[in-house]
Amino acid sequence: MNDISDHLEAISQAYGSVRVAAFADLSVQLVLAEATKADIGQEHLDLMCVQTAQAFEGPLQSEDNPLISQTTEVAILQEDGVLISLRPDIDSTSAIFLLCDFDIDVEGVVEMSRTALSETEAT
């Protein structure tokens, strides 16, 4: 399974708490693929993509700041759930982001998402 759309669908099906699974190019803040369980508009997808890009490139996260190092995983608490975002490495512009209910199995969904990113990056 090397197609990112297949991976997103598998994540969505494996975890009932995942309402949106998406793959994006953060350099242009563009959603390239998605699997959604809810009727979510393009504006909301775009907003989550922007939030993900900003979280990874925020002013506090830089190589010059010894207190906060750059990361490959972020979680943003929102009113309606948690936005979990992952990228393969700190220099990557591709990322998976997931809008999940608060009861999500974070460890499991992150592991499955990491596998999706590594298999997709390898092709």
Axis-axis angle for helices 106-121, 4-14 (nearest 10): 170
Lowest-pLDDT choice from 33-37, 56-60, 87-91: 56-60
Confidence class for position 68, pLDDT limits 50, 70, 90: low
Structural domain boundaries, residue 46: 4-121
CA–CA dist 88, 120 (Å, integer) = 10
Both structure tokens of 83: 């936005």
| pTM score, whole prediction | 0.88
Count how many domains the chain has: 1
The DSSP bridge pattern shows strands 94-100 and 18-25 to be antiparallel
pLDDT (0 to 100) of residue 35 = 95
pLDDT above 70: percentage of residues in the chain: 86
**For residue 38, what is the DSSP state?**
S
What's the whole-number mean pLDDT along residues 95-118? 96
- Provide the mean pLDDT of the chain: 88
CATH number assigned to the domain comprising residue 72: 3.30.450.30
Q: Which tokens in the block code for residue 2?
A: 């090397």
